[in-house]
Amino acid sequence: MRRLKASLPLVAALAGVTLLAPAAHPVPAHPPGRGGTNILVVGIDSRAGLSKAEKNRLNVGGKGCNCTDVMMLVHLSADERRASVVSIPRDSYVTYPEDRAEPRSGKINGAYAIGGSDLTIRTVEKVTGLHVDHYLETGFTGFEQAINALGNAVICTDQPLQDVNSGLDITAGVHEVDGRGSLRYVRARHVANPGDLGRVRRQQRFTTNLLTRLTAREAFAGPLATARTVRTLLKSVRTTPKTSLQDLVRIGMVLGRLQPRQREFVTVPIRVFDHRVPGVGSTLLWDEPRSNALWSALAADRPVTGDPRIQPPSGTPARPEKLQARVDDAAVAQALRSAGFQVTDTSATAPAARHTGPPVIRYAPGSENGATTLAAALPGARLERVPGHDAGFDVVLGTDPVTVRKVRYDRNTVEGAPTSGHQLACPTPR
């Protein structure tokens, strides 16, 4: 720490900081005795100042809402050995902490349109019970410029992804993308998994892979390197006056020291995925017990992965009715069909001698969610990943007795359950 403080005058000379105007309502004082640091990171959906050509180039046509399109609350633990990144879905239904007789309710992304960064910060503090220490904000062009200046990013997918609205069109595999390609990836909503929650998970994947790439390039290797990175970011990312250069350098150095396993990601647990509100539209209602447990864990500076209070209920990560399985036993095929799966009975071609043990589920790489769901319906089944396998699933029975259970799908399981950064990491190219 002494070395860091000694370097700050030189660091300050390297960087120029872009600040937002002071908030109309000051953020509450730092609560005594609270561990860790909370940083609110937002991306703004605004077309202000963009020419028609720029809108077309970035695939951001249409009318902007001047609202937050992306919202992540980053908690750095007090011992600086863990970063917890919480994605707050933009359609979350909340009540704004306004100074008026009749408080308004709406989507959390609308706080920015009403009261800018100040109301956005105070809304997040109100609904989470957490103090926001620092705030970072960027827009479409700012995001593109930041990624370009940082030397591009890496994205990956198990299957081709195409989204006409965002302009995304990539094949399966690992890709290096510039700022424009990165923007297309993090904005895509009309790909699997569709909608905002699937997009949020891709944003989390993008974030952990970007941090890994920057760390490998020594972007945070010491105060001077970190200051250069901060200077690059602050050309297109804004913060509030309460965040100093020293704060940003410290945050960068902490993030640079963390390995993927020390970064955890979660989306606020959702109870109702289509809560209709007149004049507001379709909104999301949080799962109160689980979301409260999430905020309590962060307030107590505890990890969120492994906490049973935050985990999704015992649902499965894929819809049974979307899965096509070939089953070589007539009775089991019928039972799975009754449980909601699409099943083809292949008992006529079943082997004369069964293998010893439980059923085997064979599937293609990238179909893990479906295989997990099918395995939940066949307790004790063994999963076998088969390169070159088609999109269906083959269930081959063994000598063990088979029980078929009805399973329940839960979107939280695949689109927002707590997970560590290494589980979202792209494979290292050979």
What CATH number is associated with residue 347? 3.30.70
In this prediction, residue 12 carries a pLDDT of: 38
Same structural domain, 6 and 72: yes
pLDDT in tens, the chain (430 residues): 444 444 434 333 344 444 454 444 333 333 434 589 999 999 999 888 888 899 899 999 877 789 999 999 999 999 999 999 999 999 999 999 988 888 899 999 999 999 999 999 999 999 999 999 999 999 999 999 999 999 999 999 988 999 998 999 999 999 999 999 999 999 998 887 667 888 999 999 999 999 999 999 999 999 999 999 999 999 999 999 989 889 999 999 999 999 999 999 999 999 888 899 999 999 999 999 999 999 999 999 999 998 999 988 767 778 899 999 999 999 999 999 999 999 999 999 999 999 999 999 999 988 888 999 999 999 999 999 999 999 999 999 999 999 999 998 877 776 788 999 999 999 875 5
Same structural domain, 276 and 355: no
Calpha distance 354→44 (Å, rounded): 59
In this prediction, residue 20 carries a pLDDT of: 56
In this prediction, residue 14 carries a pLDDT of: 41
Same structural domain, 251 and 349: no
DSSP state, 262?
A: G
404 in a structural domain: yes
39 in a structural domain: yes
Same structural domain, 88 and 188: yes
429 in a structural domain: no
The DSSP-derived string for 290-347 is HHHHHHHHHHTT--STT-TTTSPPS-BSS-GGG-EEEES-HHHHHHHHHTT-EEEE-G
Q: In the chain, what is the greatest distance between 2 CA atoms, to the nearest angstrom?
A: 79
Same structural domain, 40 and 157: yes
Work out the angle at residue 353's Cα, subtended by the Cα atoms of residues 352 and 356, and round it to the nearest 5 degrees: 155
DSSP state, 241?
A: T
Q: Where are the beta strands (DSSP E) in 108-262?
A: 134-138, 153-157, 161-163, 168-170, 173-177, 238-239
Same structural domain, 360 and 213: no
64 in a structural domain: yes
259 in a structural domain: yes
Same structural domain, 217 and 87: yes
430 in a structural domain: no
- From the CB of residue 365, how many other CB atoms can be counted at a distance below 10 Å? 12
Q: What is the dihedral of CA 192, 185, 106, 117, to 10 degrees?
A: 160
In this prediction, residue 401 carries a pLDDT of: 95
Same structural domain, 17 and 114: yes
Residues 6+ apart with CB under 8 A from 354: 397, 398, 399
Q: Residue 128's closest CA among 207, 73, 84, 204?
A: 73
Structure-token pair, residue 305: 């992965």
Q: Residue 335's closest CA among 354, 309, 359, 311?
A: 359
In this prediction, residue 34 carries a pLDDT of: 58
Number of structural domains the chain divides into: 2
Residues facing residue 309 across a β-bridge: none
CATH number for 73: 3.40.630.190
Calpha distance 177→166 (Å, rounded): 14
In this prediction, residue 231 carries a pLDDT of: 93
Strands 105-107 and 93-95: antiparallel
CB 97 within 8 A of CB 123: yes
Same structural domain, 145 and 239: yes
Same structural domain, 75 and 58: yes
Work out the angle at residue 373's Cα, subtended by the Cα atoms of residues 294 and 414, and round it to the nearest 5 degrees: 30
Same structural domain, 97 and 216: yes
67 in a structural domain: yes
Work out the angle at residue 203's Cα, subtended by the Cα atoms of residues 201 and 208, and round it to the nearest 5 degrees: 100
Same structural domain, 35 and 130: yes
DSSP state, 260?
A: G
In this prediction, residue 193 carries a pLDDT of: 67
285 in a structural domain: yes
142: domain range? 2-313+418-424
Which run of H or of E encompasses 398? none
